[in-house]
Amino acid sequence: MSMDPDALAQQAGRLAERVQLLGDYLDPEVIEARVAELEQQMGAGDFWDDQERAAKVSAEHARQSQRLAEYRSLSDDVADLGELAAMAREEERAGSLTEEFTQEITDGLARAEDRLFVLEESRLFGGEHDAGDAVVTIQSGEGGTDAQDWAEMLLRMYLRWAEDRGFTATVQDRQDGQEAGIKSSTFTLEGTNAYGLMSAERGVHRLVRLSPFDSANRRQTSFAAVQVAPLVTDEAEVEIEDKDIRVDTYRASGAGGQHVNKTDSAVRITHLPTGVVVQCQNERSQTQNRATAMNMLRSRLLELELQKREEEAARERGESMTIGFGSQIRSYVIHPYSMVKDLRTGHETGNTQAVFDGALDPFMRAELERRAKGLAIVGDD
C-alpha cells in the first residue's frame, strides 16, 4: 500500500540523512584512494610471483570496490527518490497524481531501506577476522536429554538462519545423544561477515519449557554453549607442532551411505597443551577429515587467544560479566510464557517460534551495536 506524498518525502529525507551518516563513516574518498593503491600493486609485473599475497590483495580490492560501488549507487538512488517524492507533491497539488506513481516511489524506498540496512551493518565489522568465515561448535550442557534436545534445536536454528542469509553451512561433526538430540556438533559457516555476525552468539543459551522427556511434564531449564572461532586455513597464522597433538581415528557414525561405519575415516585431534579437542567425520577420506580437523583446531586455538583479549578489554571497561565461553547470553522461555530475551542488550521478542526458525538478525544487530558503542552488558533481571 502506497503512502501519501508528504509521508514519502519525509521517509526519503530520513533515508538521505542516514546515507549521509554512513558516508561520514565509510569516507568514500579514502576507499577510492585505497582501491587505486591496490590497483597499482596489481598492475606490477611481479604481482603474481607471490600468489598468497596476490590473492589477499585481489580479495581486498574486490571487497573495497564493491563497498564503494554499493554506497555510491545507493546514494544516487536515494537522491533520485527524494526528487520523485517532491514531484509527487507537485502532481498532487495539480490533481494529476496517480496511485501507480506513489506505489513506485513506495517500493523504491523499501528497496533502498533494505540496501541501507546491509551497508549500515557493515560498519559494525571492524575486527581483524570479522569479514571471514567461522567455525561454530554447539555443546549441550546441564539438563540431560533436555539439554541435548536443546542443542539440536540451536543447531537447526543456526542452519535455518544461515540459509536465510545465503550463507553456506557445512556440518563437520555431530555427536548424537543417547535418547534424543545431540551432545555436540560443529559446522563451518561461509559468507560475508560470517564470523563477525556469529561472534554475537558466543556464550551459553538457556531454554525454559515443559519437558517433553519428563513423564510428569514438569518445567525444565536446559543449557547449551555456543563456541565461535574464525575459520583459519593459513598454517602460518596459527602454528601447531606435531609433538603437541594426538591424532585418533574412529568409525564415522550417522547418515552418509555405505561408506559410513565401514572404515575408520573420522578423525579426532587433541591439542595436548590446551586440552582442546576437535573432530571431523564429514569428509569421505581420513586425509580430508584430518585436514579439515587441523583447520578447525587452528580456529579453536585462535579463538582462545581472541577470548583472552576480549576478557582483558572487558576488565578495562569495568564489566563484571565475563565475555568468554561461559557467559549466559540469552534466555528462551516457552513456559509459563513465550519470550526470547538477550541478557546483554535487553533486546527481546514474544515470537519464540520465529527465532527458532532463524530470525536472529535483530538479536545479532543489537549485540554488535552494543559492542560498537562500548555499552555495558545489561545483565539478567
pLDDT, tens digit, for every residue of 60-99? 899 889 889 999 999 999 999 999 999 999 999 999 999 9
Residue 263 vs residues 206, 258, 266, 270: alpha-carbon distances, Å: 38, 10, 8, 21
Query: 119: Cβ–Cβ under 8 A, 6 or more apart, which residues?
Result: 22, 26, 67, 70, 71, 74
Q: How many residues does the chain have?
A: 381
More confident site: 51 or 205: 205
Cβ within 8 Å of residue 102, ≥6 positions away: 2, 3, 4, 5, 8, 88
C-alpha span between 172 and 155 (Å, rounded): 12
Query: Is pLDDT above 90 for 236?
Result: no
Per residue in 6-46, pLDDT tens?
999 999 999 999 999 999 888 999 999 999 999 999 999 99
Whether residue 366 has pLDDT greater than 50: yes
**pLDDT tens figures, 294-306:** 888 989 898 888 8
More confident of the two residues 188 and 374: 188
Where would I find the beta strands (DSSP E) of the chain?
134-140, 168-176, 182-190, 203-210, 219-230, 245-250, 266-271, 276-280, 328-333, 339-342, 348-349
Phi–psi pair at 198, nearest 5 degrees: -70, -20
The domains located in the chain, with CATH, are 5-122 (1.20.58.410), 134-233+297-373 (3.30.70.1660)
Whether 216 shows a pLDDT value over 90: the answer reads no
Taking the complete model, does pTM exceed 0.85, yes or no? no
Least-confidence region, from 16-20, 197-201, 236-240, 304-308: 236-240
Q: In what helix (H) or strand (E) does residue 45 lie, and over which residues does it extend?
A: none
